Structure 1
């Protein structure tokens, strides 16, 4: 019998050596208690009886979060996150059973890369997400601000306030922003601060010409006089986030990226090959932990991964870097 509350507490002890056994346990639980996922698995002829490895597990296309209610178990959501999108676009919905668990996961991942939140001042340039509401990214940043330095704030419109804040003290600062907003802030003035971490969350949202990630980082490094740019990878349909401190993204131990063949979605590729990005996020215990994204990526031999772009026929997504 799967114990949901026990699994929530033990998720932080998951390591590479016990990842597969935990993933198979979650697969069985979600197969029997998530009607949408069960029907999808049955169409593929998959069940706990014949799924014995990570590669055997069916990965649910994220489009199902637009057309179906993807929930494991019966409960009332504390929050419903919605993906970004233009007017008239169908938006994904991720029903969140326990908002405090989502925030706990986000904080543990963030602090594993950047240290305790109270020692950091968070500066956020996320205008599009603030405008649309119901954003998982805004919920995460709100939580970070509540636990970080009291000077943490959102910045909109008048960038002079942001420039003043950047130069106000020598404490550790993190500027997190959607790509076009980070470019906007340096259109008039180049910025430089030794204690400033610049983190892009991707997305031009139609405001600027799209760039590949390396090109974007080159421009941002020049504009901010920075040696490198950090990145955050997350999406509405996930509970966990990946961060790229220098170059490649890293998930926490309870999440993993796998690369599927572009022409055969049920075949997985070895490290160094480009393909579609599948994600196992065991923190998605209340929705679906096995997702087929529309991102293109490759995995390194260390288990880290790169996001190279998107499939041509997929929607523009605000939380991912686009090509």
Structure 2
């Protein structure tokens, strides 16, 4: 199967057929995933629906090399680390799949990058190596072609001045930032933004007290004078992202799907409207593992959109969109 066929998925039947095909491929070629399936008593020949597929616990990315073959990776993405010092590593064999995924997803939800001046306030990510988020945002900044697009570290006065200048020109702006840095900007330089989308990637990274999403978004709305806060949901172990344009309700691209598992029985899936652990099918993870059981808690809506409610108790502080409720 050509992995880039996933970007031509049109409907649920297309998705299910691709997911089953990729499961069989990964069962045969991903040694760690196959061992996991075998320990779960699951055989490839018995899988005929996505509901039967085993989901690899995301923690495996910290201790194992999750790849489908021995081919050398083009890039390695790593998480920001945890209190125990462990980091997740995603060995990406074909970085063009990642580029195709985030470019297509961005265009689907926001249009062309060239339509925006893209400003990034991601200090905790810029200060380390291996961030998949920095890789994605840097590509979008370059694609925007706007000379004012760029990254900001701790120079909040410069960023505030840039935003006010762009507002005066009525330039469409996308401001993407980690939650604590956006809060710092909103509190130290309150402004009234009319032409700017404010997008948070979640996470206080230990810099501030964790806030429930409603409180975080209210503070950001008040500080920036906007009606809603957008959000990005992604992580080191994925090559796809979901986006929310407000109220914390996320939409995924056609090659990504969310299922909710029971918190008491991880092999049992929850019906729509019931909360539980978030399982993710990310077909862009063709060369690693497309079926991941995350440490996030969520709820699925009837239309396939979803809400992130928080994290399991004692889960490591990591990743994007960490907001405990």
How do residues 304-323 of structure 1 correspond to structure 2 at under 5 angstroms? Answer: 304-323=305-324
Structure 1 residue 175 and structure 2 residue 172: aligned? no
State the partner residue of 1:235. 235
1:88 Cα offset (Å): 5.4
State the partner residue of 1:286. 287
State the partner residue of 2:159. 162
1:202 Cα offset (Å): 0.3
> For the Cα contact (< 8 Å) 1:199–1:232, is it kept in 2?
yes
2:188 counterpart SS class:
coil
Which moved further from structure 2: 92-101 or 32-41?
92-101
> For the Cα contact (< 8 Å) 2:6–2:255, is it kept in 1?
no
> For the Cα contact (< 8 Å) 1:155–1:162, is it kept in 2?
yes
Which moved further from structure 2: 231-240 or 72-81?
72-81
CA distance in 1, matches of 2:78, 2:8: 26
Give the count of matched residue pairs.
319
Q: Say if 1:272 and 1:87 are closer, same or farther in 2 by CA, change over 3 A.
A: closer
State the partner residue of 1:274. 275
1:86 Cα offset (Å): 4.7
Task: State the Cα RMSD in Å.
Answer: 1.2
State the partner residue of 1:111. 107
> For the Cα contact (< 8 Å) 2:255–2:282, is it kept in 1?
yes
Which of 115, 132, 135 in structure 2 is aligned with 1:139? 135
CA distance in 2, matches of 1:87, 1:41: 29
2:204 counterpart SS class:
coil
Structure 1 residue 302 and structure 2 residue 303: aligned? yes
TM-score (norm: length of structure 1)? 0.96
CA distance in 2, matches of 1:237, 1:157: 27
Q: Say if 1:87 and 1:56 are closer, same or farther in 2 by CA, change over 3 A.
A: closer
> For the Cα contact (< 8 Å) 2:82–2:316, is it kept in 1?
no
CA distance in 1, matches of 2:136, 2:201: 13
CA distance in 2, matches of 1:12, 1:218: 38
2:211 counterpart SS class:
coil
> For the Cα contact (< 8 Å) 1:205–1:318, is it kept in 2?
no
CA distance in 2, matches of 1:49, 1:174: 47
CA distance in 2, matches of 1:93, 1:188: 35
1:228 Cα offset (Å): 0.3
State the partner residue of 2:147. 150
How do residues 241-252 of structure 1 correspond to structure 2 at under 5 angstroms? Answer: 241-247=241-247, 248-252=249-253
How do residues 1-323 of structure 1 correspond to structure 2 at under 5 angstroms? Answer: 3=1, 6-86=2-82, 89-148=85-144, 149-168=146-165, 169-247=169-247, 248-323=249-324
Query: Any stretches of 5+ residues in structure 1 without a counterpart?
Result: none
CA distance in 1, matches of 2:158, 2:115: 21
2:221 counterpart SS class:
helix
1:134 Cα offset (Å): 0.5
TM-score (norm: length of structure 2)? 0.95
1:279 Cα offset (Å): 0.3
